[in-house]
Amino acid sequence: MATRAPRPTRFSRESKATAVDIDLARAEVGRRIEKGTEQGKPFLRVVVPTPREPKPEQVIDLSFLYALPNLADTLAEAFLDWTATTQRTASRGGEAAHIRVGLVAFLVETGRTATTPEGLTTELANAFIGWLNENRTGRGAPLQENSRAKLFATLRRLIKHLRQLPKWSGRIPRDLYIRDSPWPMRHLKRKATEILESEDLRRLLSACAEEVTSTVHRIEEGWRQRDAARDSVPSSPERYTAYADLGVCIAALEAQLGGQILRTDIVHEINRGLEEAITKLHGGLISVGEYFYPTPRLLMPFIVLMSLYTGVNTGSLVESQRGDFWVASVLGHRRFYWKVWKERAKRWQSGSIACDEDVAHPARLVQFLIQWTEYLRPLVHHSVAERLFLFVPPRGKRPASSFQSKWGSLLSGSWEYSYNQFLKEHGLGPLDTRQFRVTGLEIVHQLTGGDLRAMQAWANHARASTTERNYVGDGAKQRDEERLAEIMQVRGRWRQTQGKLETRGRPEHTDIGAATPGWTCLDPYSGLYGPKDTLCSAYAQCPVCPLGSIDFQSPYACAQAHNLLEAVRRSAETMAPQAWLKRMAPVQQKLLDTWLPQFSEPVRKAAQKLSLPPLPAPE
């Protein structure tokens, strides 16, 4: 993968879209409402030009609006005006469905089919809310609050656009009030996405790495054989035995296909001997075709690994372009960068990681995928020609294609079938791709000690509140509460001992529950001295406590053990002799006879290089 210049800012994509004046002008002129009769039934449709999609126009059927004879034209024109605000065909189709099962169903079921534009009142809007809160037939319970909010939001948008249209603005009641949030705090009631279990994550990563490595080696070996056999390809069609060598077979196909998709009828027409060799000797058309382009199933482990390593939403990742990834050298070290557009947030998801030589590293995967899909780029619609993930389905008409999503939710049947097949083949249970991002954030939470800003940066969220509300799971919240309780306990002990037991400044790996710096405690709430169920404050008593221990491989622990010996000896100057003999003499003896002799010479030398302040003398 070649080194490339930094990506433009997120505004460049927006300005690029608005710069295509011809497309926008055509879309503006071509947006229309069509009415008529088909097979004796009236129809009502909204047609929206789609110059950047494979089909030139999107036709949205709104014939269900005829159930409201006085509102059909009104709502159709409001919907048409709304279509100018979104470029996504899936969003337009989803909005029409929300109108049908929401507002229209409400008016029909409650006997309000004769409602006029003047009848769109505050009372009707509130009645719509009440209807949404009712139990649904067959469910015995209302819809989820998020679903209710989506259906209600369509009414809000329709009213907004009616008020902007001169033809209808005067007929909408001026005092119409639509509540902004009939179901406040609904996001707090939503069940959080569960993280992947550690064993599931390990097995998933292992399965992906093994399959990716096998696929890359197999395909690249086929390419090497093809390149070596170019001069051995028969100049005219031969019997199938002439193509027994895989390299010769692939090279002959490449020379004779002329950039077409491998299909039985095409290969049969150009070379029957080649067709017979593919069937009898090389595993069939789909198997040989994999040396030219991937199938959806073969792409699955690539997508899963890329999503887990980068943290990019899977829906955004499958629609990413090959130019969204690049390698650059920073201070003499190569790093892999990505900048993928997230449609729902209207933001870039960006990041970088260090490069290495692992076959399963994202930089290596992108490099391979760009080369693997190059054959398909002239064969797909120009709107998806630059995408990283292109494929040919193994069945059906087999046109070259790419995955589709709506706001990060994958819609393609090829995706669902192939992903489930991948999980089944590796003995993995149902794993939702939404769990990938949540699991990554859980790992960041563990590695950073619950640093919310680090999690926000990894997730590419504009606000930390989004990360905290949607991605901090129950386990992370419990760790945060335990950490806060630990800090409160340590702070209380510091106040109780008037600052003698100071944990600030200790290395991160040390045990702050132990009363003596450098030591560890098996149970700091069951100390031999002081009340139970409170953090032990028996400073300098760890060497003689059966719960105390020390890391003999740690230079820091060795240095603090010597520091403690010096502090114990200094305490003889301030303590009464009998008190010192009773309390401190056993500590000194234990240090000299048991603990200090067990440190190795290299550890002692490393400890001598540390500069630590003296410990306070025990009292």
Residue with the bigger pLDDT between 557 and 409: it is 557
- pLDDT over 80 at 490, yes or no: no
Residues 562-598 as b or e (16 or more Cβ within 10 Å = b): bbbbebbeebbeebeeeebeebbeebbebbeeebbee
Assign 28 a pLDDT band (cuts: 50, 70, 90).
low
Torsion over CA of 470, 473, 474 and 477, rounded to 10 degrees?
A: -90
pLDDT at 192: 67
pLDDT at 310: 93
- pLDDT over 60 at 9, yes or no: no
Residue with the bigger pLDDT between 7 and 120: it is 120
DSSP character for 5? P
Which residue, among 107, 103, 108, 52, has the nearest Cα to 78 in the 3D structure? 103
Tell me the per-residue pLDDT of 201-242, one tens digit each, with 9 for 90 and over: 999 999 999 999 999 999 999 999 999 999 999 988 889 999
Structure tokens at 361: 């590293």
User: Which of 222, 257, 289 is a domain's end point?
Assistant: 289
Structure tokens at 276: 């017979």
pLDDT at 18: 36
Domain assignment present for residue 307? The answer is yes
Domain assignment present for residue 326? The answer is yes
Could you tell me if 317 and 285 lie in one domain? Answer: no
Mean pLDDT of 276-301: 93
Domain assignment present for residue 191? The answer is no
pLDDT at 19: 37
Domain that holds residue 156: 20-185
CB 340 within 8 A of CB 349: yes
Domain assignment present for residue 451? The answer is no
The dihedral through the CA atoms of 310, 312, 314, 317 has a sign that is negative
Assign 506 a pLDDT band (cuts: 50, 70, 90).
confident
Could you tell me if 484 and 390 lie in one domain? Answer: no
The dihedral through the CA atoms of 585, 591, 597, 601 has a sign that is negative
Could you tell me if 389 and 241 lie in one domain? Answer: no
- pLDDT over 50 at 21, yes or no: no
Counts of helices then strands in the chain (DSSP H, E): 25, 12
Could you tell me if 104 and 177 lie in one domain? Answer: yes
Per-position DSSP letters for 403-425, written without gaps between them: --EETTEE--HHHHHHHHHHHHH
Residues of the chain with pLDDT > 70: what percent? 91
pLDDT at 320: 93
Strands 347-354 and 333-342: antiparallel
Could you tell me if 348 and 386 lie in one domain? Answer: yes
d(CA 233, CA 281): 17
Assign 486 a pLDDT band (cuts: 50, 70, 90).
confident
Q: What is the mean pLDDT of the chain?
A: 86
- pLDDT over 80 at 408, yes or no: no
d(CA 299, CA 309): 16
Mean pLDDT of 239-254: 92
Tell me the per-residue pLDDT of 97-129, one tens digit each, with 9 for 90 and over: 999 999 999 999 999 999 999 999 999 999 999
- Whole-prediction pTM: 0.67
- pLDDT over 50 at 328, yes or no: yes
Assign 187 a pLDDT band (cuts: 50, 70, 90).
low
Domain assignment present for residue 441? The answer is no
Mean pLDDT of 321-334: 94
Which residue, among 122, 134, 107, has the nearest Cα to 159 in the 3D structure? 122
CB 219 within 8 A of CB 290: yes
At residue 49, the 3 state secondary structure works out as strand
- pLDDT over 60 at 24, yes or no: no
Domain assignment present for residue 578? The answer is yes
pLDDT at 481: 73
- pLDDT over 50 at 16, yes or no: no
E strand map for 471-535: 520-521
Structure tokens at 105: 């169903």
H-type alpha helices, 392-509 = 413-425, 434-447, 452-459, 464-471, 474-496
Residue with the bigger pLDDT between 156 and 409: it is 156
Could you tell me if 37 and 181 lie in one domain? Answer: yes
CB 450 within 8 A of CB 480: yes
Domain assignment present for residue 458? The answer is no
pLDDT at 409: 45
Structure tokens at 492: 């209380």
* Number of domains the chain is built from: 4
Mean pLDDT of 595-601: 94
Mean pLDDT of 372-401: 89
pLDDT at 524: 85
Could you tell me if 408 and 510 lie in one domain? Answer: no
Could you tell me if 352 and 376 lie in one domain? Answer: yes
User: Which of 236, 268, 289 is a domain's end point?
Assistant: 289
Tell me the per-residue pLDDT of 450-477, one tens digit each, with 9 for 90 and over: 888 988 888 888 888 888 777 777 667 7
Could you tell me if 31 and 161 lie in one domain? Answer: yes
- pLDDT over 60 at 59, yes or no: yes
Could you tell me if 174 and 230 lie in one domain? Answer: no
Residue type present at position 354 = A
Could you tell me if 167 and 311 lie in one domain? Answer: no
Domain assignment present for residue 160? The answer is yes
Mean pLDDT of 312-329: 93
Which residue, among 383, 377, 380, 417, has the nearest Cα to 401 in the 3D structure? 380
CB 30 within 8 A of CB 53: no
d(CA 121, CA 117): 9
Residue with the bigger pLDDT between 376 and 11: it is 376
pLDDT at 15: 36
- The distance in angstroms from the start CA to the end CA of the chain is 67
User: Which of 233, 267, 289 is a domain's end point?
Assistant: 289
Which residue, among 132, 135, 169, has the nearest Cα to 147 in the 3D structure? 132
Tell me the per-residue pLDDT of 526-582, one tens digit each, with 9 for 90 and over: 776 667 777 888 888 899 998 889 999 999 999 999 999 999 999 999 999 999 999
Tell me the per-residue pLDDT of 412-430, one tens digit each, with 9 for 90 and over: 567 888 999 999 999 998 8
Return the HEC string of 513-531.
Answer: CCCCCCCEECCCCCCCCCC
Mean pLDDT of 390-405: 83
d(CA 343, CA 313): 11
Could you tell me if 71 and 103 lie in one domain? Answer: yes
- Long-range CB contacts (within 8 A, 24+) of 222-227: 222/246, 222/247, 222/250, 222/291, 223/250, 223/291, 225/250, 226/250, 226/251, 226/254, 226/291, 227/251
